[in-house]
Amino acid sequence: MKLNVLLLPGDGIGVEVTSEAAKVLRHVADAFGHQVSTREGLLGGVAIHKTGNPFPDETRELALNADATLLGAVGLPEFDHAPPDKRPERGLLGIRKALGVYANLRPVRSYRALLDSSPLKNELVDGADMIIVRELTGGLYYGTPRGISGNGAEERAVNTMTYTRPEIERVAHMAFQLARKRRKKVTSVDKSNVLENSQLWRRVVSEVAGEYPDVALDHILVDNCAMQLVLSPKRFDVVLTENLFGDILSDEGAVLAGSIGMLPSASLGAKKASGARIGLYEPVHGSAPDIAGQNKANPLGAIGSVAAMLEYSFGLSEDAQSVYGAVEEVLNSGCVTADLKPKGKPATTSEVGDAVCEALSARAASA
């Protein structure tokens, strides 16, 4: 198979984790007989530096023409006070919208080897395995009117939370279809005791559920969900929620996995003529400028995102399983970065990437 992949390393540790993830991608392709061709583009702070725009037109073209895009992270502290359209994050919001990737899948699971990396009690975390389906192209992130106006005591800021029925329906379908391949349970998260927006969300999700009688649906308020995630994480299978709630809950979920550096994500849009979905793949963590360029960052979120790409964009489930298996082996071997608090000396970013490649080679040789 031919895999045309666009790499957008972005800012901070995005650069080093994307480089390890691309190494793993090339390695899988070699081992399983695919041809990868990669191109590289600019997004975020680095794009502002080189072009003045966080999401240059050239990047848009590259992304629209690639089979799939692998992104590192965006964000640099020097832009903290920049106007909204000159901020790295605008680049990320821009590419998500341009590709129409409305469903952001964020698997959150515990790993036996990492139980002690989580501050939560082992028995609480052990066996937790959920996937957060975050709506990604609507809600407060994109709603208008938005902005800050006036001066002094008259100064005010406004953001708008909007969802239309079709926006809720399509992401809900995605969640129910995923649930069918898992433990057949969807938990929809909202704030319907206060927000009209959530009332529509709950009503539409319940209607969509009617088409999936084999999947159980429950609803939970977002504040309670935040508590249940750390009190009884094993009750969750597929967690379906809107954009901002999903952003917040997925960082919280990272505590179950031992470190946010572990979390991959897949952002999926419409189906293309080939039947494959448009896909943007990125680790959940940010650009972590404080440790950037030091070969310390955990590349496993980015490497997991490559596995997700193989699965969702290329339909290569077996190849994806090999990557997940290789990652698990590396975790068991204790070769992990500092964020996972290893007992011995922490491994570097590139050592972890190399270890995943070696484990993959061993698997391919024995297959």
Cα 41 to Cα 44, 244, 299: the distances in Å are: 10, 27, 20
Residue 42 is encoded by which pair of tokens? 């600019």
Cα 65 to Cα 6, 56, 61, 94: the distances in Å are: 9, 15, 6, 16
Residue 98 is encoded by which pair of tokens? 């341009």
75 binds, among ligand IPM, Mn ion, none (CB under 5 to 8 A by kind): ligand IPM
How far is 315 from 221, CA to CA, in rounded Å? 35
Name residues contacting Mn ion, limited to 80-109 (CB under 5 A).
none
**242 lines the binding site for Mn ion (CB under 5 A):** no
Closest CA to 14 of 224, 219, 281: 281
Q: How far is the CB of 284 from ligand IPM (least distance, A)?
A: 6
How far is 142 from 49, CA to CA, in rounded Å? 24
Q: How far is the CB of 134 from ligand IPM (least distance, A)?
A: 8
Residue 63 is encoded by which pair of tokens? 């992304």
Active site residue 223: yes
Q: Which is nearer to Mn ion, 41 or 283 (CB)?
A: 283
**299 lines the binding site for ligand IPM (CB under 6 A):** no
Q: Are 221 and 79 in contact (CB under 8 A)?
A: no
- In Å, the largest CA–CA distance within the chain is 70
Cα 99 to Cα 6, 111, 162, 200: the distances in Å are: 13, 32, 20, 25
Helix and strand element counts for the chain (H, E): 12, 12
Q: Which is nearer to Mn ion, 5 or 130 (CB)?
A: 130
Q: How far is the CB of 286 from ligand IPM (least distance, A)?
A: 6
**282 lines the binding site for Mn ion (CB under 5 A):** no
Stretch that binds Mn ion, among 131-139, 199-207, 241-249, 298-306 (CB under 5 A): 241-249
89 binds, among Mn ion, ligand IPM, none (CB under 5 to 8 A by kind): ligand IPM
Q: How far is the CB of 241 from ligand IPM (least distance, A)?
A: 13
Task: Identify the burial level of 65 via C-beta atoms within 10 angstroms of its C-beta, where 0-12 means exposed, 13-18 middle and 19 or more buried.
Answer: exposed
With CB under 6 A as the contact rule, the residue among 9, 41, 75, 138 that binds ligand IPM is 75
User: Of 85, 116, 218, 223, which is the active-site residue?
Assistant: 223
With CB under 6 A as the contact rule, the residue among 5, 28, 70, 92 that binds ligand IPM is 92
Q: How far is the CB of 247 from Mn ion (least distance, A)?
A: 4
Q: How far is the CB of 267 from ligand IPM (least distance, A)?
A: 9
Q: Which is nearer to Mn ion, 67 or 247 (CB)?
A: 247
**Positions of E strands within the chain:** 2-10, 35-40, 68-73, 103-109, 129-135, 147-149, 156-158, 185-190, 216-221, 238-241, 266-271, 277-281
Closest CA to 181 of 58, 32, 73, 312: 312
**247 lines the binding site for Mn ion (CB under 5 A):** yes
Q: Which is nearer to Mn ion, 140 or 216 (CB)?
A: 140
Q: Which is nearer to ligand IPM, 297 or 359 (CB)?
A: 297
- Interface mask toward ligand IPM for 119-138; x: CB under 6 A: --------------------
Active site residue 251: yes
Return the residue matching tokens 């590289």: 40
Name residues contacting ligand IPM, limited to 248-277 (CB under 6 A).
none
**89 lines the binding site for ligand IPM (CB under 6 A):** yes
DSSP per position, 11-73: STTHHHHHHHHHHHHHHHHHHHT-EEEEEE---THHHHHHHS-SS-HHHHHHHHHSSEEEEEE
Active site residue 191: yes
With CB under 6 A as the contact rule, the residue among 135, 242, 247, 339 that binds ligand IPM is 247
User: Of 11, 190, 247, 319, which is the active-site residue?
Assistant: 247
* Catalytic residue annotation: 141, 191, 223, 247, 251
Residues that bind Mn ion (CB under 5 A): 247
The residue ranges that bind ligand IPM (CB under 6 A) are: 74-75, 89, 92, 247, 284, 286
